[in-house]
Structures are given as C-alpha cells and as structure tokens.
Chains A and B, each alone.
Chain A
Amino acid sequence: MIFTNFKRITRTGFVNFWRNGFLSFAAIVVLTISLLAIGAIIFSGAFGRALIADVKDKVDINVYFALNAPEQDILAVQADLDRLPEVASTTYISRDRVLAKFKMKWQDNALIMQGLDEIGDNPFPATLNVKARDPGQYGSIAQYLSNKNPAMSDGTPTIEKVNYEQNKLVIDRLSKIIPAVERAGLSIAVIMVLVAIIVVFNTIRLIVYTSKDEISVMKLVGASNIYVRGPLIVSGIMYGIISALITLIIMAAVAYWSDAVIMRFAGVEIASNFELVVNVLSRYFAQNFGQIFVIIMGTGVVLGALSSYIAAKRYLRV
C-alpha cells in the first residue's frame, strides 16, 4: 500500500507539473534566478579568494644576511622560521643565485654590467624570502628575527637587515582591508540567499494558493494529508531539479566565458602578472563541480519541496 501510494503521489505530481504548464514555468524561472544568485555568490567568492590569495602571495619580507654569513647559519635560521606556525613558506636564495638573477635581469645594460665588473666581488647578500600565512603576521615574524638574530664567530650579527619596515605600510593596509572585504562579501551573500529563499517561497505559495479549492475537495472526499500534499511536494522537487540543471549550465557557460572576458579586458600581460586570477572560474568550476552540484541541486530541491510543504499546510486544515 505504501508503494502504491508512493507511485500514485509521484505520478500525480508529474501530471500536475505538465498540466499546470504556465505555473510550472513561472516557478522554474523564479527558482532559477534565485539559484543563479547563489551561483553568483559562489563564483564571486571564488574569484575574490583567488584575488586575495594572489595579493597575499605578492606580499613578503626579505631577510638579508651579512656577506660573510656561513650558509649553515642561514639554513639554521630558515629551519627555525619554517617551524613557526605563522610562516607559510621560505625560500633561500644564495649569494650566487642573487648575482645570477641580477645579471640576467640587466644583461642588456652595459653600464650596470660594467659597474658590476668593477666591484669584482659579489656585492649581493644571501636572501631568505619569507611568506606569512596572513599579512598581519609579518610584524611578529620580523620581531622574532630581530630577537633571535644569532651572532657569528666574530660577534657581528648574521642577519643584516629585514625589509619589514619598508613593506609595513602596505602590509598593514592589506591586513585591514582583506578581512573587511571578506566580511562584506559574507554579509552580501547572506542577504542575497535570504532574498532568494523568500522570493521562491512566495512564488510557490501563490502556486499552491491557486489549488486551495482542490485541496479542500480532496480532503472532503476523504484523502489523507500526505495524499493531498505529496503531489505538491513532487512538483516542488521537479521545479528544483529543472531549475538547478538550468543554473548549472548557465554557471558553466559563465565560468568559461568569463576567462576570455578577463583576458580581453585585462590584457594578456596584466593577466599573466596576476597568474592566479587567470582561468580562475573555469578551474574552480571544474575542480569543485561535485560541491557546486550538491549546493545548487540541494538548494533547489529543498527550497522547492519545503516551500510546497509549508504552503500546503494552511489549506489542509479542512
């Protein structure tokens, strides 16, 4: 009997979906727009995070060592830094590599190359490039280094300079702006999701309202609540599934189309400077497709079904 009821409820839901063609169409349009709003939130979140990660990645501090600092001391400092929870990564660049990089950069400039030759020796200090997990943590890393600074055998400090002070202004600003941007994004997302839910609920409530007389007739003929409500919920689920599929197709199109647009507006050169931002949406969509599918489909189905369920409640009191 349970199976028979399930079969009848599902069939009635499908039939009603087709027969109420225009209402179904209206529900799908509204639900699709709402799901697209959620999709836009997902995408702008991904884009924003990529942009912020890119900017964060561009912020770093360099630790310059004394010219005569032995390599094992430098590596010891690097190992110490790597152990700090605040540090995301460290890159050691030896004096020879700094020189090689410098030569490579200025190889076409005869004057500079000549000057370098006149110095004779390698004038560049070994460098340790430090990236923090969060821009706000550079202060404490710099502090740690100035406290720690081990002395060499002749008593002079190993670390000659940390360029934190020069970068302090931009680092401080970024560490204030980024959380503010993240908070604003989150509040906008919450508001948009709420608006989407309310609009969808009201639309489906109006659709259920149009069949309130039918609901009361069904009840008066002796149908149980689940028998009256079931087909409405099935229709609601169908609105959700179809809207979610449309939304996912549009999102895929936007993801791949946006890459081309960003490239065109930003120009290939700038885009390659912000390498993390290039192809961010298509890559994000492809990598997180499972998660996006669950969010969009889940929201659509739950919103459709739950709205129908709640909307029918009031008319079942016959």
Chain B
Amino acid sequence: MIYYDKVSKVYPDKSVALDGVSFGVEPKEFVTIVGHSGAGKTTLMKMLIAEDWPTEGAVFFESSNIHKLNKRAMSRLRRRIGTVFQDYRLLQNKTVYENIAFAMEAAGRTDSEISADVPHVLELVDLGHKIWNFPKELSGGERQRVAIARAIVTQPDIIIADEPTGNLDPTNTYEIIRILQKINELGTTVLLTTHNKGVVDTIGGRVITMEKGKVVRDDKGGKYIL
C-alpha cells in the first residue's frame, strides 16, 4: 500500500534527516515508528502527505509516486489520509465543530453527513461539551483530541499520527491508543510515531525503530528497544 524506496532527505544546511530508508506498509497494518528526537520520524510522515520532498528515492502510495502527482490527485490523496500533526495544526479562527466540519467539506461530504458525524466523532474523543469552543480556549490534550477527531472523521484509508500522545496524561494516552486500535480493527491502516514505551508495548504490533535517519530494526510484534 505504501512503499518507501531508498528515501533520503538532506536539508540545505547539510543535516541528514533520512538516509536511504526503505520499507513497505501493508493495508490494515498498525505500524509504530519509534526513535529519539531527530531520528527522522516526523520527516518520514511528512513525505507521505507531500509536505516534504525526498532528496533521493521515492515514496509510493498504491504504486503512484506521491511526489509526482498533480494538484488534483494530490488533494484526493490527502483526503484518503487522516493526519494528526505533532503541533495539532488546528484552524485558529474556526470552532472545534468547524475544524472537523472543514475536513469533511474538503472531502465533499454533504451537510447532513457533516451535522451527523461531527458530534459523533467529538463524543468519541470525549469533547462533546467543547464543540463550540475555539482552539485557543482548549488545553493541549483537548487540542490533540480535536486533531485526532479531524483525522478520523472522514474515515480515511490511512491514519498517520505523529506523537499523538505527546501531551496527554496516561489515562488520555490509553484512550487515544484504544481509539486508534479500534479504527485499525475496522480496516484502517495506522502509522504512529511515539516516544512512549508503554504505548508501544500495549499495541504490540509491528515496530520500526529509527536512528539517525536510518531504519535500524523492523520487528513484527516488536517491543520498545532503544
């Protein structure tokens, strides 16, 4: 479904973010990517939605090179990928409801679907009571959950979650992971990056370990080993 083919990324200041990374992801897999800060996890995720470009190599999604898609195809691809950004990236001048509705509008959903699904997904992340608040009125954890709700509401084929539990307490962390696992069980491919050893051990799925821009370990049913 996804294939990274010898992907390297060197920034203009010569710092190497990725160094010849190759691996594939099968449909319905739950892949956890672990590694220290600066190991290249976020860059790897950015490649998948073409927010960043590889210096060498290519990233394929269902046999098409992501970085060679035209604008329309790119927008269509992005609608099939739900992204939870490390820094949330909510729209500051939209309410929680509108932030989530926007993703659905962009995906071309009808108004009735939107008015039915948005409250539902907010209940799922336990934010039903904050539906008309603006992002700046929310705590970090709440913002994170809005970001997750936005990513899953369009029922994408893939969810990429970059440190989604970074700002959450253990209870919330467990809740989020449970939501992601549930989505995965329903057939969505999940790519997750994390620092959290507990999270990795709970999931117990495939674990890819990165170090200095390289894949150093790729275990099915792996544990958090650094």
Considering only CB atoms and an 8 Å cut-off, how many residues of chain B contact the other chain?
27
Q: A214-B92, A217-B91 are in contact. Are A8 and B105 (CB under 8 A)?
A: yes
Using Cβ atoms and an 8 Å threshold, which residues of chain A touch B77? 222
Asked if residues A217 and B93 are in contact (CB atoms below 8 Å), the reply is no
Q: In whole angstroms, how far apart are the Cα atoms of A214 and B110 in the complex?
A: 23
Q: Is A160 an interface residue (CB 8 A)?
A: no
What CA separation (Å) do A8 and B105 show in the bound complex?
Answer: 8
With both chains docked as a complex, state the minimum distance between the C-beta of B59 and any C-beta of chain A, in angstroms: 15
Please name all residues of chain A whose beta carbon is closer than 8 Å to the beta carbon of B89 when the two chains form the complex: 213, 217, 220
Question: B165-183 vs A: 1/0 string, CB under 8 Å?
Answer: 0000000000000000000
Instruction: Tell me, rounded to whole Å, the shortest Cβ–Cβ distance linking B91 to chain A.
Output: 5
Is A110 an interface position by the 8 A CB rule?
Answer: no
Interface check A16, CB cutoff 8 A = yes
CB-CB contacts below 8 Å: B86-109 with A: 89-93, 102-103, 105-108
Q: Are B106 and A224 in contact (CB under 8 A)?
A: yes
In the complex the two chains form, is A223's CB within 8 Å of B110's CB?
no
Residue of B nearest to A18 (CB): B93
Is B72 an interface residue when CB atoms closer than 8 A count as contact? yes
Contact of B111 with A by CB under 8 A: yes
Distance from A118 Cβ to chain B, minimum over Cβ atoms (Å)? 94
Across the interface, name the chain A residue whose C-beta is closest to B88.
A217
List which A215-241 residues lie within 8 A (CB) of chain B. 216-225, 227
Residues of B within 8 A of A4 (CB): 110-111
Interface hub of A217, A220, A222, A318 (most chain B Cβ within 10 A): A222
Chain A residue with the shortest CB-CB distance to B154: A222
Query: What residues of chain B lie closer than 8 Å to A8, measured between beta carbons?
Result: 105
Chain B residues closer than 8 Å to A217, beta-carbon distance? 89-91
Task: Say yes or no: is B51 at the interface (Cβ < 8 Å to chain A).
Answer: yes
B93 touches A222 (CB 8 A): no
* Cα-based distance from A302 to B107 in the complex (angstroms): 30
Whether the pair A223, B93 counts as a contact (CB closer than 8 A) is no
Q: Among the listed B51, B76, B91, which residue makes an inter-chain contact with A318, where contact means beta carbons less than 8 Å apart? A: B51
CB < 8 Å neighbour of B105 from A213, A220, A225, A227: A227
Q: Is the CB of B105 within 8 A of A222?
A: no
Q: Mark B7-45, 1 if CB is under 8 A from A, else 0.
A: 000000000000000000000000000000000000000
**Chain A window 155-176, contacts with chain B (Cβ cutoff 8 Å), 1 for yes, 0 for no:** 0000000000000000000000
Please tell me if B184 contacts chain A, counting CB pairs below 8 Å.
Answer: no
Contact of B83 among A20, A211, A221 (CB under 8 A): A221
Determine if A264 is an interface residue (Cβ-Cβ < 8 Å): no
* List of A residues within 8 angstroms of B78 by Cβ: 219-222
Neighbour of A224 across the interface among B72, B81, B85, CB < 8 A: B72
Q: Are A19 and B93 in contact (CB under 8 A)?
A: yes
Given the contacts A220-B49, A222-B79, A223-B102, A214 and B91 also touching, CB distance less than 8 Å:
yes
Tell me the bound Cα distance from A220 to B156 in angstroms.
14
Q: A191 in the interface, Cβ–Cβ < 8 Å?
A: no
Tell me whether A111 is interfacial, beta carbon within 8 Å.
no
Question: Is there a chain B Cβ closer than 8 Å to A104's Cβ?
Answer: no
Contacts of B102 in A (CB 8 A): 218, 221, 223
Q: Is B129 an interface residue (CB 8 A)?
A: no
Residue of A nearest to B103 (CB): A221
In the complex, A233→B71 CA distance in Å?
20
Q: Complex: how many Å from CA A111 to CA B135?
A: 96
- Interchain CA distance A222-B110 in the complex, whole Å: 16
Residues of A at the B interface (CB closer than 8 Å) are 1, 4, 8, 16, 19-20, 211, 213-214, 216-225, 227, 318
**Pairs of residues from A and B, 6 with the lowest C-beta to C-beta distance, nearest first:** A222-B79, A222-B78, A223-B106, A217-B89, A19-B93, A224-B75
Q: Can you list 9 contacts pairing A with B, beta carbon distance less than 8 Å?
A: A1-B108, A4-B111, A217-B90, A217-B91, A218-B106, A221-B78, A222-B75, A222-B78, A224-B75
